[in-house]
């Protein structure tokens, strides 16, 4: 039996204030235990676990800088 797989992804530019607003909404939804990801008409609802695995990757390459966060938990 295979599990149903759904995925939404987004990549784009936004202001730091817009980014912070998204992160604050995400943090609030994690506290509530339900993470809702919306992209246009599409929506994915995840049930957050009490224990979450966090991976952080930060790097610089020339003048470019990046930070990547990955959260995962068993379903």
Q: What is the pLDDT of residue 2?
A: 53
CA distance 30 to 2: 27
Mean pLDDT of the chain: 92
CA distance 56 to 4: 27
Q: Using pLDDT thresholds of 50, 70 and 90, give the confidence band for residue 51.
A: very high
- Give residue limits of the domains in the chain: 16-72
Q: For residue 13, what are its two tokens?
A: 């530019």
What is the pTM for the complete model shown? 0.80
């Amino acid at each position: 039996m295979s599990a149903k797989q759904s995925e939404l992804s987004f990549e784009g530019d936004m202001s730091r204030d817009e980014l912070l607003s998204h992160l604050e909404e995400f943090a609030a939804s994690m506290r509530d235990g339900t993470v809702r990801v919306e992209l246009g008409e599409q929506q994915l609802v995840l049930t957050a676990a009490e224990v979450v695995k966090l991976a952080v990757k930060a790097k610089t390459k020339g003048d470019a800088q990046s930070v990547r966060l990955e959260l995962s938990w068993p379903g």
